[in-house]
Structure 1
Amino acid sequence: MAKASTKSSAKATKKRKVIVDSVGEAHITASFNNIIISLTNKKGDVISWASAGKMGFRGSKKNTPYAAQVAAEECAKTAHEAGLRKVKVYV
């Protein structure tokens, strides 16, 4: 009987670590089809991001105020766990 190969061909990649200050920037992009929120440090490296589509909204529901609120809450929760406390908002 042939031996089963247990060796994985995919390399294990490390998740890159972003340096998080207590003050950062919130970049909000609202198009006709989606809302994207990115939280960055002062240098511009993305700490956390979320969109209405990533939160599970589809079609015309992606561009609603409620979808933007859900995406902002998810993005803020992830960034708060990383150490971000204050943001400057750019629309």
Structure 2
Amino acid sequence: MADAKTSARKKQRRSVPAGQLHIQATFNNTIVTFTDKKGNVLAAASAGACGFRGSKKGTAYAAQVAAEKAAEAVKSLHGTSTVDVFVKGVGLGRDAAIRAMSNLDIAVDSIKDVTGVPHGGVRPKKARRA
């Protein structure tokens, strides 16, 4: 049990001045995740986790509230001031989550759409027998 002392160390809060903001905006929910430049999660929030239920989770206001909650956490814990934004999905929360960053003095360096696009499609059904 010699290494019990080493595992009891408190995790050090690291300063991350520039990070990434990943927004997944679906019709049913919006998930906002702050990461460092490598992709390690610093803070996350969703419309459902902010208390919205049912069809209200897919609204732009719910996305704004989720973005503000995650941004407050990442600013106070890690001191993040600039982000690169990666938007995925087609929901209403795409623009609202990005606009919420300007209200909290987090500078947006770039915005990139990483929504998946199908190419080739699915295999067609086999021909009907007569």
Q: TM-score, normalised by structure 2?
A: 0.56
Q: Considering Cα pairs closer than 8 Å and 6+ residues apart, tell me whether 1 or 2 has the greater RCO.
A: 1
Q: Computing the radius of gyration over CA atoms, which structure comes out larger, 1 or 2?
A: 2
Number of the residue aligned with 1:63 = 58
2: CA distance, partners of 1:17 / 1:44? 18
Map of 1:77 onto structure 2:
72
Structure 1 gaps, min length 5: 1-12
Distance in 1 between residues matched to 2:54 and 2:9, nearest whole Å: 34
Matched residue, 1:5 = none
Percent same amino acid among aligned pairs? 49
- 2:22 alignment partner, SS class: strand
Query: Where does residue 97 of structure 2 map in the other structure?
Result: none
Count of aligned positions: 79
AA aligned opposite 2:20: E
* Cα deviation code 1:40-69 (max 9, x no counterpart): 000110000000000000000000010001
| Alignment gaps of 5+ in structure 2 | 1-7, 88-130
* Between structures 1 and 2, the one with greater helix share: 2
Partner Cα separation in structure 2 for residue 52 and residue 89 of structure 1: 18
> In the alignment, which residue of structure 1 is the partner of 2:113?
none
- Name the structure 1 match of 2:41: 46
Give yes or no for the alignment of 1:86 onto 2:61: no
Distance change (3 Å), C-alpha of 1:15 and 1:24:
same
Choose 34-43 or 17-26, whichever is displaced more.
Answer: 17-26
